[in-house]
Amino acid sequence: MDKKWTLLFAVVILWWVANTIVSIVSKKLMIDGSPVTSGVTNWTPAFVDLRWIELTAFQLLFGGTVAMIWLKITGNRNKSNANAATNSNAKASKYTVVAAIIINLVGNLATNAAYAIISSSSTQVIKSFEPIFIFTLMRCFYKEEEENLTYIALSSVTLMSLGASLFVVGDSSLNVWGVGAAVVSNIAFAVRNIFLKKMHTFRENSFQNYAIISFYGGIFILLVVLGNKVVFLKTLPGATLRTEYAVSSFFYFVYNIASISVLQSVGPLSHSLFNLTERVIVILANIIFFSIPFSLIVVLGFLVFLLGLVMYHLKSLKPHVFKLFNIKYNSLRCTIAYVSISLVLVLTVLFVYHSSSKENVDYVDINKKCKILEKQKYMTTSWVYSKELPKEVISNINSMHFLNPNTFLCVYCGTSQCIKAIVDLKNHLIDSEFLVIPKILKDTPLESWFSHHPINKVLVGPEFETHLQEAVQLALHWHQQRLYFNPTLNVKNFIMPSQPHNAWISSRTNNLTKQTFKFEISNFPSHHPFVAQLMENYVKDYPKFGDISHSTWPLAFDFQRTIRDTFAKFCSSNTDTCPTIITIHVSELKLTKVSHHFATLTYDQNVAENKGANLGNEIQGFPGLQFLPYVNKFLERDNLDQSKGTGHVTVFFNAWWGDSKTSWPPPSNIDPLLLSIHLDSDIIPIIKKNLEYFRNKAPIGSKDLETLHILHNLLGPDAAYFSGCLTLLLKNPNQISSNQRKDIYLVDVKSDYESLLPVQIREKAIKIEHYITSDEKDDNMKRFSAAYNLIEKYSRASIVITQRIHAALPCVAMGTPVIFINSPNLKGGGGSDTKPSPRTTGLLSLFHTLDMYTMSVEDAKEWLSTFNWQAPPPNPDVGKLMRIRATAWDVIRQRSYFYDASQKFGLIPFSPPPVAEKRQLLFHLVFTTTSKSTVSVFGSSKGVSGAFNWRHLRTLESIFYHHPFAKVIIHSSTLLQRQFNVLTEVGYNVEVLTYTLEDLVKDTPAASFVGDKLKSATGGKFWYAHEADLTRLLVLYKWGGVYIDTDVILVRSFDNLKLNKLVWQDLDGNWLNNGVIMFEKGHSFLRDCLKEFAETYRGDLWDYNGPRLLTRILGKWKDANGLYQQNGSDVQVMEKNAFYMFSWDVVEEQCFQDTSESSFADHMKTMKEKAYGVHLASKMTGLEGMESKLKEKTFCKYVLNEFCVLCNRIY
């Protein structure tokens, strides 16, 4: 090889290596800038504090000074100047030099600005188009013909640019300012290289060229900075980063000298292609150094880049290809072409990146767990808070990992936004896991403390989240051998100790008596005795709801003091296990305070007026408190105007509203959940004056049927729904079994009814009253504490006998058996001698109710004497309880802060209520279409979307309405399990089972229906229906159970039905329908049907392989006696009205359109006497309810809204 080319190759290698080092060091220098989650328009700290200017000045001054010194030593400067002086274009050369200096300065500033805002890879995306810029500029403005600028050259350059961009796009971030800076640097360096090439005509020394453009550029920055009276290098980030400034500057000098030297030997286009190759190497190095995983788009980009590189070298075989441009002057067309080509290519790659990065945007998997990597050092942090993870904290987490690059970091997130932010870092060594606090605190002394979080939120106010953060840290130390750091601590200088197994804690001072001893960075082996002692003391020192001696709110808890006291006592007697103290010099990040307030209702005015307090008011506040992240406001129920203008306040309005002096509507800053409200007649005049407010909040959850009736009359039938009482969502703070329940409580039972109880029960029972008149009634904190103390007692009770609705309802929620004595003049609940209390309507079936409106005294005594007092049975009507929970939860979960809090506090999934007898039926649904498909509706030119819609969901709801413990399998390749989270979170059993027909038909009589048969069938006009026809037969054959179509609404329980049943579609018994089929697993009738399907399949008839197939096989099973049986197996056929009250050709008119009262009454009679379900024939009625509410007073309006479990959804 020629020595010249050998030397050139060596210089190119030096250029690439030096630039790789500069990229890594510069990126590490800027890690205090926000990572990719900072947003598309946000400035970052590294940009705001001008670190990018400091770095540019360092690089230019260092490199320029070294080059100047070298020139002075070698004497080359004068020689170059002499050459310049003899040049006829000396004057022009001066302008060229000035232009090169300015453009080089702009390019370097823009490059480092891009590093400060976005990742180095993002900068490389834009800069990968440099060959395109060079190509266009040379054709338009540079008259030299050193290189063949041909079609092949342009094609190869374009391929290499796109390939390199795709290669780096996987590690890119999208930020307007960062992208802009990268574009500016790209244009600047392209222009600079052309000017440098012109400078080469009168300066042959690359050192001199570099010295001039660097030194004077650095001087210019220094003058500008000092001129603005800004202290240069005002806040260097510390010793580690000062070293990085020097390293970056040195290798920046080396790579620039090498780069300019190469430019003197080759043309600008070839130089840009060398630069492009170097970018790929830089990103490879970044991937290796920062442990970035490969992706498919990275591999694809690398292959495209190689293809372009091969094309470029092959172009030399055809040097006389037609020129792309034939332009001899600087024209406007050149400029337009230059800008247009560049812009289109840049936007193309950004679009590809934006599209590829959309994963995890619409859905965050809160069930994901941090990875476990073998032989890996670990760090842990947590974000308990309900507010979004701030960009400063994200940057801080990123910084901690960059300072400890070989350590795996797990972030426990208390919000889904936090999960997404960590995922968006796209670093496989930083992982996240949703923080479910009960799981973290399990098997520690903190577990029981946390179970009382609703009352703790009331007592300590907004500081509760900080206390949670501290408790989580302790529990993580107990369970795991990992270093923990506080994410709000500025950790940019912290390096993980080399011996991670030692026990140590951090302090900001050596004096432990000061307030700086905070558990900010610490490390312990799992199950360390100091951590165990600290957790015990944490619980001991925390304010107790049963011991409130003063009313100052919020109550204080000093964790620092607990640490100091524990440390002093523990280390005085355990010197061998006493943790080491490491002094750190750090500061807290300055985070923006949020203005969102969470409140609960208080009743001071009511207490003052009545000179007593009904603790049921406070009791009904606790279920809402469960879902609040914290409490920092109290709203006076009877004087809401007190809270006017105090910031945005979210509060549950589940309460009694009946004071005629109540201020309605609430102030605009109050954001209430109108869920489980009770309206008394006295407040109706106020409501009538504010109907618009209620309409805007509709639909409204009514605690009882009386309130529902009031709201329907005032606002219309779609404006309200029965939600029951929110108290039914109360979680039992104590996980105890039935045999651990001992006490019997008699709560506010009138003496007349108490005397009806067996003597031994009266003697054993502990009497409790909800109404208090002592001094504690006047203290808000004491009332809440007393109320929670009652909840604690009820949660452990064997049985509660009461006439208080707010004693009975929490007992039902917590699984405590309750006898409710419903009688006139209930304490706190009303009721006349002839009419029960409106507050109990719709709720009595939830209790063992002793209804004194319908029972005689003798009947009541008999009932009580036969009650199983030794082992009280579970409360009845668990189906209604689960429906009430599902409805309320569907409303609550729509607010992200409540949903995250529910996950974090372990409130979901709801625990299934105890039940005396549980029958678990197995139901199957099949769903084959997608939102991208359109399902035709007979008689209409419009179709309906193939997406799973509300009518399909209501089929599912109707199953759980009658069978709350059923298991429903939805066989589908188009649905996702998470689409049914709202049901599974409240305890319903739904499973989406993905299938392929190839797998499903294996080992069945339809096994031959594969290969060409199946391939041919899938292209048919009616395949979407035929696939469902086949699938329902297969799943019943393999699993057994009940199959129903997704347009069937169950109206009756199947408890008295046996399997092996079909249903006639007509009254004459000529045709079957396959919308409902019930069979045992492997039944021979199903075997015959599957065999028939495989052997006689026809794709041209819609019903041939479904209803008509069943009818054909059933005919073969009919014996001489008219029974359907073969070989000891039988099939029974239910009459038409069991599921097909409406024929397919009249269901639209009779069910969806007919509003006559007589027709409605007839349909109701048929349904109650004969029907188990109503088939709505979606092929005929699929458009109904898709664009507007269902027609009022129709039978289908009733059916589709009555048998619901998400009853807040009114159609």
Angstrom distances, CA of residue 146 to CA of 109, 263, 900, 1117: 30, 13, 64, 90
Q: For 751-771, what is the mean pLDDT?
A: 96
Residue 601 has a pLDDT of 97
pLDDT band at 399 (very low <50, low <70, confident <90, very high): confident
Instruction: Quickly count: other Cβ atoms within 10 Å of residue 766's Cβ.
Output: 11
Among the listed residues 428, 162, 125, 173, the one whose alpha carbon sits nearest the alpha carbon of residue 302: 162
pLDDT of the residue at 312:
58
569-to-264, 474, 564, 572, 1065 alpha-carbon distances in Å: 74, 18, 9, 5, 82
pLDDT digits (tens, 9 = 90+) for 912-966: 899 887 778 999 999 988 887 887 777 676 778 889 999 999 999 999 999 999 9
Q: What is the pLDDT of residue 411?
A: 95
The DSSP letter of residue 765 is P
Instruction: Indicate the pLDDT class of residue 794, thresholds 50, 70 and 90.
Output: very high
What percentage of the chain reaches a pLDDT higher than 90? 52
Res. 745: pLDDT tops 60: yes
pTM exceeds cut of 0.85: no
pLDDT at residue 238 above 90? no
* pLDDT for res 873: 95
Residue 1077 DSSP code:
E
Residue 742 burial (C-beta neighbours within 10 Å; 0-12, 13-18, 19+): exposed
Q: What is the DSSP letter of 1104?
A: T
- Mention every residue, 6+ apart, whose C-beta is less than 8 A from residue 1147: 1175, 1176, 1177, 1180, 1181
454 or 114, higher pLDDT: 454
Average pLDDT, the chain: 82
Cα–Cα–Cα angle for 168, 60, 81, rounded to 5 degrees:
120
pLDDT number for residue 645 = 83
Tell me the three state secondary structure of residue 1134: strand
Q: Judge contact between 183 and 165, C-beta under 8 A.
A: no
Would you state the torsion angle of the CA atoms of residues 121, 122, 123, 128, taken in this order, to the nearest 10 degrees? 80
pLDDT at 200: 52
Read off the pLDDT of each residue in 278-292 and give the average, rounded to a whole number.
59
pLDDT tens, position by position, 1152-1196 = 999 999 999 999 999 999 999 999 999 899 999 998 999 999 999
Res. 804: pLDDT tops 60 = yes
Q: Quick: pLDDT tens for 973-1017.
A: 999 999 999 999 999 999 999 999 999 999 999 999 988 888 888
Could you tell me which residue, 760 or 337, shows the higher pLDDT?
760
**Is residue 1064 helix, strand or coil?**
strand
Least confident of 67-76, 385-394, 405-414, 505-514: 505-514
Question: Is the four-CA dihedral 1149, 1151, 1157, 1162 of positive or negative sign?
Answer: positive
Tell me what percent of the residues of the chain surpass a pLDDT of 70.
Answer: 76
Cβ(1206)–Cβ(890) under 8 Å?
Answer: yes
Distance CA 381, CA 418 (A): 12
Q: Which residue has the higher pLDDT, 292 or 1076?
A: 1076
CA–CA distance, 1067 with 1070 (Å, rounded to integer): 8
Which residue intervals of 730-853 are DSSP H helices?
Answer: 751-754, 759-764, 780-796, 805-813
pLDDT of residue 12: 74
Q: Considering all CA atoms of the chain, what is the largest pairwise distance in Å, rounded to the nearest integer?
A: 128
404: how many CB neighbours lie within 10 A of its CB?
18
Long-range contacts formed by 340-348: CB under 8 A, 24+ apart: 341/132, 341/136, 342/129, 342/132, 342/133, 342/136, 342/187, 345/129, 345/132, 345/158, 345/161, 345/162, 346/126, 346/129, 346/179, 346/183, 348/162
| Contacting residues for 78 by C-beta, under 8 A, at least 6 apart | none
Spatial distance between the Cα atoms of 289 and 66, rounded to a whole number of angstroms: 29
pLDDT band, very low/low/confident/very high, at 151 (cuts 50, 70, 90): low
Q: What is the CA radius of gyration of the chain?
A: 38
Task: For residue 1007, count other CB atoms closer than 10 A to its CB.
Answer: 13
pLDDT category of residue 321 using cuts at 50, 70 and 90: very low
* Beta pairing class for 744-747 and 799-802: parallel
Q: In terms of DSSP bridges, do strands 407-413 and 482-485 run parallel, antiparallel, or are they unpaired?
A: unpaired
Mean pLDDT value of segment 57-70: 80
What is the structure's pLDDT at 153? 65
Mean pLDDT of 645-649: 87
What are the tokens at 175? 């930020």
Tell me the per-residue pLDDT of 327-347, one tens digit each, with 9 for 90 and over: 333 444 444 444 454 445 444
Identify the band that residue 75 occupies on the pLDDT scale cut at 50, 70 and 90. Answer: low
* Whether the bond into 874 is cis, omega within 30 of 0: no
Phi and psi torsions of 923, nearest 5°: -110, 150
Residues across the chain: 1211
With a CB cutoff of 8 Å and minimum separation 6, the contacts of 591 are: 390, 392, 393, 488
Average pLDDT over residues 494-517: 66
pLDDT greater than 70 at residue 532: yes
Strands 1061-1064 and 1072-1079: antiparallel
Per-residue pLDDT at 131: 59
Residue 107 pLDDT: 80
Backbone angles phi, psi at 852, to 5 degrees: -75, 0
What tokens does 239 get? Answer: 């010793």
So what's the pLDDT on residue 355?
A: 43
Q: Which token pair is 283?
A: 């990103």
pLDDT band at residue 288 using 50, 70 and 90 as cut-offs:
low
List the alpha helices (DSSP H) in 620-683: 622-627
Q: What is the pLDDT of residues 672-724, one digit of tens each?
A: 999 999 999 889 999 999 999 999 999 999 999 999 999 999 999 999 999 99
Residue 1089 pLDDT greater than 80, yes or no: yes
- Spatial distance between the Cα atoms of 215 and 61, rounded to a whole number of angstroms: 5
**Across 286-295, 478-487, 689-698, 952-961, least confident range:** 286-295
Peptide bond into 699 cis (omega under 30): yes
- pLDDT grade for 142, boundaries at 50, 70 and 90: low
- Give pLDDT, residue 470: 95
| Interval 1120-1125 mean pLDDT | 91
Q: If you average pLDDT over each of 109-118, 181-190, 228-237, 849-858, which comes out highest?
A: 849-858
pLDDT 10s digits, 1004-1062:
999 999 888 888 888 888 888 899 999 999 999 999 999 999 999 999 999 999 999 99
More confident residue, 915 or 452: 452
3-state secondary structure of 654: coil
In this predicted structure, the answer to whether residue 83 has a pLDDT above a threshold of 60 is: no
